[in-house]
Amino acid sequence: MRDQDGFGISRRDLLKAGVAIGVGTFLYPGIGAFAKSDDPVKIGHIDPQTGTYAALGGSQIAGAKLAIDQINAKGGILGRPVQLLVEDSAANVGQSVQKARKLVNRNKVHFLMGAVSSAVALALSQAAHDMNVLYLDIGGHADAVTGSKCHWNTFRTCSTTWLLTAGDFKTIFDKFGKKWYFLTPDYAFGHALHRDYVSQLKQAGGQELGNALAPLGTTDFSSYLIKAKSTNPDVLIVLNAGNDMINTLKQATQFGLNKDMAVGGAMMEMEVLESLPEAARYGYWNMEWYWQQPNVPHVKEFVDAYKKHNADKVPTARSWFGFASAHALALAAEKAKSLNTMKVVKALEGLELPPEVSLQPNKAIYRAGDHQLIGSEYPGQINKSGSYPNLFDVADVVDASKIARSVEAKGCKMTYPS
């Protein structure tokens, strides 16, 4: 079974979001200020444009596109124009690896980035390692990417599953109680989230009442929800995503579970919130970035620029992943004064994103030991009566450096080529 943690979107909706769908590779050159003879710096971007992940992938592409436009407006990378070559992964591991090889061997890209699915992220990491190319995982969260299966040439911008769960664990535990029941999607990302939550729950003296494993694409969650209710938990932790999350919350509302117990989980996405009916908007969750940060420098400028290019839609966490990742590659190459893989890797290690890219109150740094970006988490609750885009109330901004596991605890043992 392939790893999935997104949801479907129609071609029409994706076009409305400002992302063009094409067959095969398409470019976001943004090179009007450069001569055609200039040799471009090429970034291969592999993300889902079709299938269950299309909305999340579309947001990541839109954020990267905005970054490329900004980079080129300031002279490109090392004085050369930048091209973003985008391929559709369809959240499929085999297709993603095939596209990565095409981008590197045929299109001669200098860097690879992308992924929503954790399985795709792990596969791209290995493929990039085999081809000696720097790969930046944008949105595949499983701990192993920068943990037990880390590679010297792989970095990650989105949070680990540990950071997602630690981001709101204490809030949910302290506010609602210690007896938890889990509804978990039966694939790698869901398993990782469940494992990390249970580890923290046991350490805090809590109790797991049960864990229902639901296949991806489940439409009827009634049996799982009835079982959850029968255990009388303090909290129902929903680890689904995309359409599965939407269906779960809709049906939990029909069963009245939200009146009998608290509901929450490790990750909520604006793309999901937009699709939920008002009655199903509730619960305590974690966001990885949020568009409304009035006291943080440059956030408003970013939101305004993104809305201008994307049919007045506010940027999501996925948008920020793509934006920050493209900028990070440019910053590292400029710091290295080179496009050589090893030199750029060394320049990206320990790189702190500048305020106009980090767009958060805490420092955002690619940790040298495991190449994981350590920034902020945004726990809070869904704004039940809110209207777009005011759909989430951030309760706190957690400095991820305070909750991140050490490199050693994650199991990352970086081995560099001689």
Read off the pLDDT of residues 252-296 as tens digits, 9 standing for 90 and up: 999 999 999 999 999 999 999 999 999 999 999 999 999 999 999
Return the percent helix, strand and coil in the chain, to nearest 5: 40, 20, 40
Q: Which residues contact 374 (CB under 8 A, 6 or more apart)?
A: 363, 364, 365, 366, 367, 400, 401, 404
Mean pLDDT of all residues in the chain? 91
Contact 286, 268 (CB under 8 A): yes
Domain of residue 357 covers 11-160+296-375
Read off the pLDDT of residues 321-349 as tens digits, 9 standing for 90 and up: 999 999 999 999 999 999 999 999 999 99
Read off the pLDDT of residues 146-176 as tens digits, 9 standing for 90 and up: 999 999 999 999 999 999 999 999 999 999 9
Helices (H), 235-283: 242-255, 257-260, 270-273
Could you tell me if 42 and 89 lie in one domain?
yes
Could you tell me if 240 and 175 lie in one domain?
yes
Q: Domain for residue 96, yes or no?
A: yes
- Which range has the worst mean pLDDT, 15-24, 203-212, 283-292, 316-325? 15-24
Q: Domain for residue 58, yes or no?
A: yes
Could you tell me if 320 and 356 lie in one domain?
yes
Q: Domain for residue 5, yes or no?
A: no
Could you tell me if 392 and 356 lie in one domain?
no
Q: Domain for residue 242, yes or no?
A: yes
CATH number of the domain bearing residue 87: 3.40.50.2300
The answer to whether residue 48 scores a pLDDT higher than 70 is: yes
Q: Domain for residue 415, yes or no?
A: no
Residue 188: per-residue pLDDT: 81
The answer to whether residue 13 scores a pLDDT higher than 90 is: no
| Count of domains forming the chain | 2
